[in-house]
Structure 1
Amino acid sequence: LLPSGCRSVLTVACEQTEVLLFDPVSSKHIKTLVEAHEDCVNNIRFLDNRLFATCSDDTTIALWDLRKLNTKVCSLHGHASWVKNIEYDTNTRLLVTSGFDGNVITWDTNRFTEDGCPHKKFFHTRYLMRMRLTPDCSKMLISTSSGYLLILHDLDLTQSLEVGTYRTLRSRRTTLNADGSRTPGAPRHGNDSSKARPQASHREGASPRNSLEVLTPEVPGERDRGNCITSLQLHPKGWATLLRCSSNTDDQEWTCVYEFQEGAPPVRAVSPRRSLRLTHYIEEANVGRGYIKELCFSPDGRLVCSPFGYGVRLLAFDGRCGELADRPATETERLREVRSVYSHSDVVLTTKFSPTHCQLASGCLSGQVSLYQPRF
């Protein structure tokens, strides 16, 4: 469920091949794209205020124009499995998609025709779950079902990456107990002398662009068990990443905020690298097992909205809904619950703030869409 970059359209991706369009101000239903795809629709991304893309479990991506919704602009074929994520690089004007085939593919939408558009495989990794670009499109983050978080630094989407063509950076794990305290001997985050730093591989001829950092972000309560990073979002100012993690035994779910931190500079003179520091976390309701719950930041980055059972929770970094950057870089803290709203008849799977209105939307497993606005 994604509000568009357009001021007047709310688009909804549905399980049964449909895409719904609403007026977010009046809540009126505008149109239903009945057979947008041949299988579940997973994600929607606007490229500008009229052109948007949808992706599906039918392995395709479709381009649509708001001015002519009776037919697709074109269908894009290239993935071999369910397509789960769409991003758009505003610098190169390339559409970027990822799927359960492990591939990240770039599409040159400047040259599309009715038969599709030029595309190439940019990156591949096993167990890929979600892929995101930072707001300035300088980094790509990829989460995996095996608990790894991959970061491609100094991103250049015009280069296709094959194994061995990128510099690899690897970070140590930070271990937290279920109550948020550190395990004895685990790295601390409070100062530069004790902060976990990435270790760079020194390979001759390695390009400074598209350097790969492999992280295993530790989740509270998951010290001795693996976890799956199911949802991945980025702070609107590029300060942090928001993860929804579940244990491999499916008996715990956590929402965690990791702030980008400066890492150790590599030997060669290239751009600075960044690793992550866990700043906030909270345990989730752990209902609707097997379904991915998509959470989100507010447009100003002060609030997190999280699916919570049959409702949503608004979470903040402190009691005053302050900026993440205003928090002292000391101990990891629990997220503060600001408000919970239970308005659905089934498990909530997705939430999204409007980029233009003081409004929040949520969607549940049975297909109900709810819109929320503050009372003044």
Structure 2
Amino acid sequence: MSFQSWLIQRENGLLRSLGDQDFILPRLYKSMRPLYIWNDKGTGGARTSGRTNVGGVFNLEFSPEGNVLLGACEKKAIAIFDVIRRQIVKRVMNAHTSSVNCIKFLNDKHFATCSDDNTVALWDLRYLKAKMRSLQGHSNWVKSIEYSKKDNLLVTSSFDGCIFTWDINSYTEQGLIYQKVFHANGLMRTRLTPDCSKLIMSTSGGYLIVIHDLDLTTLHKDLCGFRPVVYRLMQMGKQFIPQAAKFEHVFSKNQKKNRVEFVSDFPTDNDAEVILALEIHPKGYCYVSRNISYDGKTEWLTVHDLEEEAEDITECGKKHCEDVSRRKRKREADTDKEETDRPGNSNSTPANSRQPQPANLVSNEPTSSTSSAARTRNTTVPTFVPDVWAAEVTVHDRYLRLPHEPDQSLINAYNFVYAISSGVLPTLNHNNGSHDESSSSSDESIFNLAATPEERARQISELKSKFSKKYPDRKMYHNPKKLTYYTKELNKEKGFIKEPCFSSDGRIICSPYGNGVRFLGFSNECSVYPYRRNHTLSQSDRNAQPLSEILKITAHSDVVLSTKFSPREPLLVTGCRSGKVVWYQPKL
């Protein structure tokens, strides 16, 4: 059936089949072309000669009905467009005292803006001569605004790492009532799902934070004191940190509200560091983010699934680690047995008596304690391995803290290692010589590496016993694999955030690509988001796929920074660094 035939059937009021959207929408998206270009610099003449340029367009937002378009602009301005006539109707100059970063409609008549002047402003679309209210509380650039209709709360986030909620219906003499509900170092952007049941955050630490079963009224209470950066360090270092581990309950399925999940899986070649942009699927199936790799040379667009796991990933991770450790011990035992049985090798040592010595801390010369008696008991010589934080402190302070005899050398002082108060201290499993996830208590302790192995074993055993009593249920939650699709982007204008967007049906992702945009789909046929997590499928079998490029359009003379699809019709609007706005529609 041709497109014209489909239009005739629609005009005649004939019933539509279930496959109509799969047939018509790919043709619509593939035929999108630039229709109208608005350039704020003007073309000269009396009407534009004295007009002030609004600067780069950082963010675009349609009203819920799709008849009004707002642009957040670089030079402290807000640009207001009539979508039907495709004309600018008003410029609000000096809306803030610095660049306007983001705009969010609260309803058809009211909207909010945030700025680099650390404030949030409320506006009435019917009266733009002055803002309704200026909200002050953040101490750094405010980059995100969300509105929870369920709680009637405005949610703002800033580069100060804070997330505030504002009750826009409660006015006091000092302003609106607000509350700091969460803090995360390196916070970049925050987004709410359409049903306001999840909160997604991007960070400059190479990971994303998802809060499931969101309740903004109790978020501060449920996550009070939780430090995402510290828990992420514990995961990356595989070292147990008590200050982070005591918040293990926020990751558990037993947490009925405000359950936390970290997402840190990215493509193989993408060593993600700063996750700049974030956008949610219109139906809440997934979210798309744009990040810069650690080397700062490449940008990637990634799609992560939002469906929750059926069970906690901790137990799966524990079983996997136990299996790996068991196989490793078996290989070592087999290797040592082969060396022992080799002809002429009479000085072999049992497998589980081998223990690597830490560099620059313990002499390689054998001591009297490491005798055949210890090997006969088939025990391991325990060795203390300091973590990076403890090493950073002890290198400067170790010599100063210890009493030195006149004939004591500096090398002897390095036989002592201090554990700092953070409690970051790996220990060893003395039965098999493998590392354990536990650590020392937060009390400062001294280990004398020059002591006999029995004395060191006793010290470590006492420390582990003390820590086990304090933290009896030790767990470390693993991050599930959520990456489903990805693609590589151009890295131009590194200092600016480039915002992708979803089409209203969620079939297309429009992403800035240099001086133009790309339409990316989950397949060449512009299919709906097909990924549904099969909980019986193992984590290792969940492989991500590259996004399909549907269309590429270059219509700007500068780098595109913002994109937005209309919620009501196949209409796309993009804004660039120089202040140009381009409108795209299908050309059939």
Does the alignment reach a TM-score above 0.5?
yes
Name the structure 2 match of 1:309.
514
Give the deviation of 1:357 after TM superposition: 2.3
Conserved? CA contact 2:208–2:263, under 8 Å: yes
Q: 1:365 to 1:5 in 2, by over 3 A?
A: same
Q: What SS does the corresponding residue of 2:86 show, helix, strand or coil?
A: coil
Alignment match of 1:215 (pick from 263, 287, 290): 263
Matched residues in 2 for 1:310 and 1:373: separation?
A: 18
Partner of 1:36: 95
**Greater mean alpha carbon deviation, residues 252-261 or residues 87-96:** 252-261
Shift of 1:215: 2.3
**So what's the TM-score if we normalise by structure 2?**
0.55
Contact 2:219/2:258 (<8 A) preserved? no
Deviation at 1:113, TM superposition (A): 6.3
Matched, 1:68 2:133: no
1:239 alignment counterpart = 285
The residue number in structure 2 matching 1:283 is: 488
Give the paired residue count.
340
- Counterparts of 1:8 and 1:164 in 2: how far apart (Å)? 42
Paired-residue identity, %: 44
Deviation at 1:241, TM superposition (A): 1.0
Which structure has the highest strand share of the two? 1
1:341 aligned onto 2:553: yes
- Counterpart check, 1:133 vs 2:192: yes
CA contact (8 A) 2:272 2:291 kept: no
Q: Equivalents in 2 of 1:328, 1:165: separation in Å?
A: 32
**CA distance in 2 between partners of 1:45 and 1:25 (Å):** 20
Q: Aligned partner of 1:141: which letter?
A: I
1:109 alignment partner, SS class: strand
Q: Which moved more, 1:112-121 or 1:318-327?
A: 112-121
The alpha-carbon deviation at position 151 of structure 1 amounts to: 1.1
Q: Do the aligned partners of 1:166 and 1:211 also contact (CA within 8 Å) in 2?
A: no
Match of residue 180 from structure 1: none
Superposed displacement of residue 2, structure 1 = 1.4
Q: In the aligned structure 2, how far is the partner of 1:355 from the partner of 1:264?
A: 33
**TM-fit CA distance, 1:279:** 1.4
Counterparts of 1:74 and 1:97, CA distance in 2: 15
Judged with a 3 Å threshold, the aligned counterparts in structure 2 of structure 1 residues 207 and 259 are, in CA distance, closer, same or farther, namely closer
8 Å CA contact 1:167, 1:201 repeated in 2: no
Code of the residue aligned with 2:496 in structure 1: it is Y
Task: Give the Å deviation of 1:325.
Answer: 2.4
Q: Counterpart in 2 of 1:229?
A: 275
1:328 positional shift: 9.0
* Counterpart residue identity of residue 322, structure 1: S
Matches within 5 A, 1:185-200: none
CA distance in 1: counterparts of 2:112 and 2:480, whole angstroms:
31
SS of 2:169's equivalent in the other structure is: helix
Q: Deviations over 1:238-292 (max 9, x none)?
A: 110101111122111111111123314359xxxxxx9552111111111122211
**Is 2:314 the partner of 1:102?**
no
1:142 paired to 2:201: yes
Contact persistence 1:360–1:373 (CA under 8 A): yes
- Matched to 1:366, the amino acid is S
| Residues 22, 30 of structure 1: 8 Å contact kept | yes
Q: 2:301 — aligned with what?
A: 255
Query: What letter matches 1:93 in structure 2?
Result: N
Q: Judging by fraction of residues, say which structure has more helix.
A: 2
**How much has 1:201 moved relative to structure 2?**
2.8
Write the deviation string for residues 205-242 of structure 1: whole angstroms up to 9, x where unpaired. Answer: x85321222221323412xx452111111111111010
For the 8 Å contact 1:167–1:211, the answer to whether it is kept is no
| Match status 1:89 vs 2:148 | yes
TM-score scaled by length of structure 1: 0.84
1:78 paired with 2:137, answer yes
**Does the residue aligned with 1:110 lie in a helix, a strand or coil?**
strand
2:74 touches 2:99 (CA, 8 Å); kept in 1? Answer: yes
Give runs of aligned pairs for residues 102-121 of structure 1, distance below 5 A. 102-112=161-171, 116-121=175-180
Name stretches of at least 5 consecutive residues in structure 1 with no aligned partner: 174-199, 268-273
Which stretches in structure 2 are left out of the alignment for 5+ residues?
A: 1-59, 236-246, 314-478, 535-541
Distance 1:78 1:238, change over 3 A: same
Seen in structure 2, the aligned counterparts of structure 1 residues 113 and 28 have a Cα distance that, compared at 3 Å, is farther
Q: Indicate conservation of the 8 Å contact 1:262/1:275, yes or no.
A: no
Residues 96 and 276 of structure 1: CA distance in aligned 2, closer, same or farther (over 3 Å):
farther
Cα deviations across residues 42-65 of structure 1 (Å, max 9, x unaligned)?
A: 000000000100000000000001
Say if 1:147 and 1:217, in contact at 8 Å, map to a contact too: no
User: Residue in 1 aligned with 2:78?
Assistant: 19
Deviations 1:314-369 (A, max 9, x none): 11110110011268976422111111111111100111101122200111111111
Q: 1:116 to 1:348 in 2, by over 3 A?
A: same
CA contact (8 A) 2:502 2:565 kept: yes
**Is residue 37–residue 56 contact of structure 1 (8 Å, CA) maintained in 2?**
yes
The structure number with the bigger radius of gyration is 2
Residue 77 of structure 1 deviates from its aligned partner by 0.5
Q: 1:202 Cα shift?
A: 4.4
2-side partners of 1:123 and 1:327: how far apart? 30
**Alpha-carbon distance between aligned partners in 2 of 1:100 and 1:139, rounded to the nearest angstrom:** 21
Q: Which amino acid aligns with 2:129?
A: N
Alignment-derived partner of residue 201 in structure 1: 248
Which structure is higher in RCO with an 8 Å CA cutoff and minimum separation 6? 2
Q: Which amino acid aligns with 2:501?
A: C
Residue 325, structure 1, aligned to residue 371, structure 2: no
Q: Tell me the amino acid that sits aligned with residue 301 of structure 2.
A: T
Q: Is contact 1:75–1:114 with CA below 8 Å preserved after alignment?
A: no
Which amino acid is 2:261 matched to? E
Counterpart of 2:505?
A: 300
The answer to whether residue 576 in structure 2 is matched with residue 364 in structure 1 is yes
CA shift, 1:25, in A, is 2.3
